[in-house]
Structure 1
């Protein structure tokens, strides 16, 4: 069974980036969606570098169908990198069949590190929407689309409940941009795989 589906027993997610990118908020949105809407267990732990803004930070989210006794991520099934620093610090921890998701304009020379790589220009998309600070929400839409770790319904509800009042519509639009980007990427890869399989038949 795919470890990143909502039916899976346990999924470990590590989100990395810089202070000011909304990394911890992203983790909170994921954990809340899993717990309140999907009715699963979730934990969130966070860490910061020496500087709150601009320093390295991470959010560790564990989602499980059973009680979680150890809240720290050891080998993430899903590693989300929104900075080069975070990628270089944590890429070696990615599980053998893990998924690596990167902001392609912020992380360069990424390798698979034992799993598939899924890039998105999250910061650029947020800038095009007029709000660079929503790059984390764009990324959450992409993560939801690619992994299915949390339900779409749960994420939409959690995003709307977690962002400042008056910004819900803009944040939902950002989330949908990321989600649609992920769907398009998956379809393109499926089409390519089918073409390769057909050529080898």
Structure 2
């Protein structure tokens, strides 16, 4: 795998900092890749802008800043408007279909997915959207395996919440199978099998 840049974006309270850490551990610890992970969020505990940035590579990473995104996840229209210009040609935008009502078009793939709605319907609360996101990312991008994510989720989430978080992860994986065309699954431009 060449250098692969990922940004998870939305607002505080959506669990994207934890999702970024879990994705980093899935790729690094359980997937054997080199990973850098940074996070940025506003002073508000809920509602302010929030993002997690990851770089995943087979080789050492010499520059840990995301400049040209291969994958962008957006859970709000504001985050989509702010960061979509950073997507490189051939990249992948995964946007929540209810909160991102005007996804951009460009030389990249766009998947509008009901992430927050699925978290509410399947798990009873939107806070599970972060795990739903990870399942969607695993299936649509092929960036990490679902098994690596299962291991990282079980190791990283608070004790006693493992089963709930794993169910949300599986709900996201199943959701991607429902909403994405079969020819769009697991075909990121830079990842080899």
Aligned residue in 2 for 1:46: 39
Contact 1:92/1:113, CA 8 A, preserved across alignment: no
Q: CA deviation at 1:37?
A: 0.7
Q: CA deviation at 1:113?
A: 3.1
Aligned residue in 1 for 2:55: 62
Q: CA deviation at 1:57?
A: 1.1
| TM-score where L is the length of structure 2 | 0.90
Contact 2:17/2:51, CA 8 A, preserved across alignment: yes
Greater Rg over alpha carbons, structure: 1
SS in 2 for 1:97: strand
Contact 2:31/2:144, CA 8 A, preserved across alignment: yes
Q: CA deviation at 1:152?
A: 1.5
Tell me whether 1:76 sits opposite 2:82 in the alignment: no
| TM-score where L is the length of structure 1 | 0.87
Q: Give the paired residue count.
A: 183
CA RMSD of aligned residues (A): 1.5
Q: CA deviation at 1:71?
A: 1.1
Aligned residue in 2 for 1:196: none
Higher helix share: 1
Alignment of structure 1 residues 1-201 onto 2, 5 Å: 8-128=1-121, 129-186=123-180, 188-190=181-183
CA distance in 2 between counterparts of 1:105 and 1:148 reads 24
Unmatched 5+ stretches in structure 2: 185-193
